[in-house]
């Protein structure tokens, strides 16, 4: 089955909506079992971490189970970061193929996540770029990998999968 | 204005009566914050970097001592230099980069140039400048910090000429730096590339306390504790154990100048450690340092060097520093610190463990950060001093015992209790030093 950019864009928007709605279960199912979820750190002003085994990332998961751990931590209602959970609004644009012919498809998008913390009435933004690898073999595109390049990496207090 | 008596009442220190209290305004008052910046952060030794961050001539990095920007360089003769990062001409930051390598640092405003030794090498178009006669004799070099010394590759600087020698300042707390550095086959530590920085909206002393606070772990981190339990069930790794004769528990040592270390003894680690994963290195270390030292290398240790450095050696290892930005805002810098020359597998494990636990993106530190903010907002309540520093005061302070002897130290205070002990007397050394410095400041203002 061939996928055009619009079906992939729809998948990216859907992921964002599921995060904002806190529909964690459905969100997780968009990822493949062995999906890579990676928010690399920065080495300096210009260069990103590019070798997760020799450099430190903000988040580096190599299967869905590790994302499920993060979800369980929130759902247990024991994590202080989630009591209450911040409200988030993902705004995504500039979706385009980085490589159309490649399979899985390599897709880039820009993001801004507005975060409002009802605990403090404080708001801030995380922004940057996503790089997705989408598998196109099934009925709808599934995420084989998501790389989150966070441009503003002096982080206020907490950052987690729902605010990236 | 902060009077001497106002400073005096910041700490009530009467352990013999079961009292140790820190005033809430210590966390909220802008005047106290200003005193701390000047008389603590800019008056003591500050960790500024590792030797391994600037190995070659002309390598540099920039950081801060208190609020003041500094430039750390590897000089042409191989020694380390540290200078106020401000142009002698009109004050511009001379080096705006985090780190790098360059022989000359040229100020962008009017082009004055400085070399890695801090020497001014050029005043742009000096001949045409119609400078007064006196200019020729003026020192135009970058201003060096008052004191600069290294211990085991950790570089410290001070803006005050009157600090004691670094080794004296660290005292026996240095043994716990050794326990990290000695894990390296070449006796060096390095930062794994990819440092991160973050802020929390709370006073810096919340971070200082938290690094000494074992009491909070099970409640603050209960969601993380659940995750660890699940992982322990699903993993059948053959983790090393303590000798079965060893009494489990947790303890602390306190030292002069406000330093302290927490440690714990567990029969079974709930999670593996990079060192325990490398049998070859373990054998070498046992041969070189003996069983007791290796035992302590494998134990969880949280070291606090007053006022702004913590070294954590647990399932991973972290060096973190903080910079107070306001009474209720603190900037943290966090590095994964690692022995140079460890195996690739140990390094990978160390990095995964670090990402798992630390930083605002980790599963444990993120909870701490939020907790600090809850404290900060709670401190605004005028509810009198807290009861926060009393655990462990009920027993006589212990001054000897197997633990201190094994490390080869004679700490000012030694506490040990059950795994749920959560002693708080290890906060006292830091608060006493903090108070002493503020009282001194009170006499100067
Ligand atoms: S301020 Fe640096 S050259 Fe003028
Ligand atoms: Fe903690």
Over residues B132-156, the pLDDT tens digits come to 999 999 999 999 999 999 999 999 9
Radius of gyration for the alpha carbons in chain A, expressed in angstroms and rounded: 16
- Contact residues on chain A for B192, CB-CB shorter than 8 A: 54-56
Return the number of CB contacts < 8 Å for A and B. 124
pLDDT in the model for residue B397:
56
Q: What is the mean pLDDT of chain B?
A: 94
Nearest ligand atom owner, CA of B320? 2
CA distance linking residue B152 with residue B340, whole number of Å:
12
> B348: pLDDT confidence band, cut at 50, 70 and 90?
very high
Q: Which residues, 6+ apart, have CB-to-CB distance to B233 below 8 Å? A: none
CA nearest neighbour of B404 among B245, B241, B176 = B176
Over residues B94-108, the pLDDT tens digits come to 999 999 999 999 999
In the numeric block, the tokens 């090498």 are attached to B121
- What mean pLDDT comes out for the span B424-439? 97
Residue B112 Cα: closest atom of ligand 1: 3
Instruction: Provide the 10 A C-beta neighbour count for residue B221.
Output: 24
pLDDT top residue among A100 and A142: A142
* Statement: residue B240 has pLDDT above 70: no
Q: Which of B69, B85, B90, B104 gets mutated to test ligand 1 (max ligand atoms within 8 A of its CB)?
A: B90
Residue A159: which of B361, B363, B373 has the nearest Cβ?
A: B361
* Residue B23 zone, left/alpha/beta (φ > 0; ψ -120 to 50; rest): beta
Do the Cβ atoms of B121 and B115 come closer than 8 Å? yes
CA distance linking residue B84 with residue B157, whole number of Å:
11
CA distance linking residue A41 with residue A138, whole number of Å:
32
Inter-axis angle of helices B291-298 and B174-181, nearest 10: 90
pLDDT in the model for residue B273:
85
pLDDT in the model for residue B403:
93
Read off the pTM: 0.96
Cβ contact (<8 Å) for B355 and A60? yes
Residue nearest ligand 1's atom 3 by CA: B110
* Statement: residue B53 has pLDDT above 60: yes
Instruction: Provide the 10 A C-beta neighbour count for residue B289.
Output: 17
User: What's CA A40's distance to the chain center, in Å?
Assistant: 12
At B423, list the tokens: 């002693």
Do the Cβ atoms of B309 and B208 come closer than 8 Å? no
* Statement: residue B271 has pLDDT above 80: no
CA distance linking residue B253 with residue B13, whole number of Å:
19
- What mean pLDDT comes out for the span B200-222? 97
The backbone torsions φ and ψ at residue B411, rounded to the nearest 5 degrees and listed phi first, read: -70, 160
pLDDT in the model for residue B237:
61
User: What's CA B264's distance to the chain center, in Å?
Assistant: 19
* Statement: residue A30 has pLDDT above 90: yes
- What mean pLDDT comes out for the span B390-394? 92
At A112, list the tokens: 């801004």
Do the Cβ atoms of B65 and B157 come closer than 8 Å? yes
> B270: pLDDT confidence band, cut at 50, 70 and 90?
very low
* Statement: residue B229 has pLDDT above 80: yes
pLDDT in the model for residue A99:
83
* Helices then strands, each counted (H, E), chain B: 13, 20
- What mean pLDDT comes out for the span A12-34? 98
Test the A interface: residue of B232, B322, B360, B371 with most A CBs within 10 Å: B360
CA distance linking residue A10 with residue A109, whole number of Å:
12
Our CA-based measurement puts residue A147 at a distance from the nearest CA of chain B, in whole angstroms, of: 15
CB neighbour burial string for B92-110, b if at least 16 within 10 angstroms, e if fewer: ebbbeeebeeeeebbbeee
CA of B199 to the centre of ligand 2 (A): 16
Identify the H or E element spanning A20.
Answer: helix A5-20
Q: What is the mean pLDDT of chain A?
A: 94
- Contact residues on chain B for A52, CB-CB shorter than 8 A: 351
pLDDT in the model for residue B231:
85
Nearest ligand atom owner, CA of B85? 1
CA nearest neighbour of B180 among B356, B318, B365, B347 = B318
- What mean pLDDT comes out for the span B350-363? 96
* Statement: residue A13 has pLDDT above 80: yes
Residue B366: which of A69, A78, A81 has the nearest Cβ?
A: A81
> B238: pLDDT confidence band, cut at 50, 70 and 90?
low
Over residues B27-49, the pLDDT tens digits come to 999 999 999 999 999 999 999 99
* Statement: residue B280 has pLDDT above 80: yes
Q: What is the DSSP string of B66-95?
A: TTEEEEEEE-TTS-EEEEESS-TTT---S-
Over residues B303-341, the pLDDT tens digits come to 999 999 999 999 899 999 999 999 999 999 999 999 999
- What mean pLDDT comes out for the span A59-70? 97
For A127-131, the CB contacts below 8 A with 24+ separation are: A127/A151, A127/A152, A128/A152, A130/A12, A130/A92, A131/A98, A131/A106, A131/A107
In chain A, the percentage of residues whose pLDDT exceeds 70 is 98
* Statement: residue B55 has pLDDT above 60: yes
Residue A79: which of B197, B200, B223 has the nearest Cβ?
A: B223
Over residues B158-185, the pLDDT tens digits come to 999 999 999 999 999 999 999 999 999 9
Cβ contact (<8 Å) for A45 and B98? yes
Partners of B303 in the β-ladder: B261, B311
At B10, list the tokens: 């910041």
pLDDT in the model for residue A1:
43
In the numeric block, the tokens 């006292």 are attached to B428
Q: E-strand spans in chain A?
A: 31-40, 57-61, 87-99, 105-117, 122-135, 142-150, 154-156
CA distance linking residue B35 with residue B156, whole number of Å:
21
* Statement: residue B445 has pLDDT above 80: no
Q: Which of B92, B105, B125, B141 gets mutated to test ligand 1 (max ligand atoms within 8 A of its CB)?
A: B92
> A138: pLDDT confidence band, cut at 50, 70 and 90?
confident
pLDDT in the model for residue A130:
98
CA distance linking residue A39 with residue B314, whole number of Å:
23
pLDDT in the model for residue B98:
96
Nearest ligand atom owner, CA of B124? 1
Cis peptide before A104 (omega within 30 of 0): yes
CA nearest neighbour of B65 among B136, B155, B141, B131 = B155
Q: What angle do CA B88, B48, B153 make, to 5 degrees?
A: 130
- What mean pLDDT comes out for the span B392-416? 83
pLDDT in the model for residue B155:
98
Residue B124 Cα: closest atom of ligand 1: 3
* Statement: residue B264 has pLDDT above 60: yes
A40 to chain B, any CB pair closer than 8 A? The answer is yes
At A80, list the tokens: 């202080």
* Statement: residue A80 has pLDDT above 50: yes
């Amino acid at each position: 089955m061939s996928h055009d950019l619009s079906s992939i864009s729809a998948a990216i928007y859907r992921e964002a909506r599921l995060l904002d709605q806190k529909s964690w279960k459905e969100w997780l199912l968009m990822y493949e079992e062995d999906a890579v979820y990676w928010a690399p750190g920065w080495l300096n002003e210009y260069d990103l971490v590019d070798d997760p085994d020799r450099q430190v990332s903000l988040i580096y998961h190599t299967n869905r189970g590790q994302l499920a751990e993060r979800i369980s931590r929130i759902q247990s209602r024991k994590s202080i970061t989630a009591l209450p959970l911040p409200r988030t609004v993902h705004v995504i644009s500039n979706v385009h193929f980085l490589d159309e012919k490649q399979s899985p498809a390599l897709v880039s998008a820009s993001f801004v996540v507005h975060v409002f913390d009802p605990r403090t009435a404080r708001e801030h933004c995380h922004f940057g770029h996503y790089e997705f690898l989408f598998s196109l073999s099934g009925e709808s595109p599934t995420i084989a990998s998501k790389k989150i390049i966070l441009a503003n990496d002096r982080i206020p207090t907490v950052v987690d999968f729902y605010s990236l | 204005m902060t009077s001497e008596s106002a400073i005096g009442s910041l700490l009530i220190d009467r352990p013999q009566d079961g009292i140790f209290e820190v005033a809430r305004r210590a966390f909220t008052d802008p005047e106290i914050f200003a005193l701390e910046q000047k008389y603590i952060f800019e008056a003591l030794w500050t960790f500024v970097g590792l030797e391994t961050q600037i190995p070659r001539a002309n390598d540099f990095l920039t950081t801060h001592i208190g609020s003041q920007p500094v430039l750390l360089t590897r000089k042409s003769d191989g020694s380390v230099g540290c200078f106020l990062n401000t142009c002698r001409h009109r004050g511009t930051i001379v080096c705006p980069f985090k780190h790098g390598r360059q022989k000359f640092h040229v100020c962008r405003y009017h082009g004055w140039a400085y070399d890695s030794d801090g020497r001014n090498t050029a005043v742009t178009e000096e001949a045409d400048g119609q400078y007064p006669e006196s200019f020729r004799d003026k020192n135009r070099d970058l201003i060096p910090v008052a004191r600069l010394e290294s211990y085991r590759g950790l570089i410290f600087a001070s803006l005050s000429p009157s600090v004691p020698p670094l080794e004296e300042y660290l005292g026996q707390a240095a043994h716990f730096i050794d326990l990290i550095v000695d894990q390296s086959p070449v006796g060096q530590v390095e930062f794994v590339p990819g440092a991160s920085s973050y802020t929390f909206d709370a006073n810096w002393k919340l971070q200082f306390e938290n690094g000494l606070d074992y009491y909070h772990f099970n409640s603050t981190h209960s969601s993380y504790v659940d995750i660890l339990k699940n992982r322990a069930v699903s993993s059948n790794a053959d983790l090393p154990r303590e000798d079965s004769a060893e009494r489990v528990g947790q303890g602390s040592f306190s030292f002069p100048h406000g330093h302290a270390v927490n440690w714990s003894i567990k029969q079974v680690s709930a999670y593996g450690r990079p060192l325990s994963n490398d049998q070859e290195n373990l054998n070498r270390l046992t041969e070189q340092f003996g069983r007791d030292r290796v035992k302590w290398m494998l134990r969880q240790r949280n070291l606090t060097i007053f006022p702004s450095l913590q070294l954590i050696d647990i399932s991973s290892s972290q060096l973190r520093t903080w910079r107070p930005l306001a009474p209720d805002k603190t900037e943290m810098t966090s590095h994964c610190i690692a022995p140079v020359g460890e195996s690739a597998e140990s390094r990978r494990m160390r990095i995964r463990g670090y990402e798992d636990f630390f930083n605002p993106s980790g599963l444990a530190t993120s909870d701490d950060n939020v907790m600090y903010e809850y404290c900060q907002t709670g401190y605004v309540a005028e509810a009198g001093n807290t009861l926060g520093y009393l655990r462990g005061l009920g027993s006589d302070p212990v001054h000897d015992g197997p633990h201190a002897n094994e490390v080869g130290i004679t700490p000012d205070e030694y506490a040990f209790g059950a795994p749920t002990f959560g002693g708080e007397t290890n906060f006292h050394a830091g608060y006493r030093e903090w108070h002493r410095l503020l009282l001194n400041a009170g006499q100067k203002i």
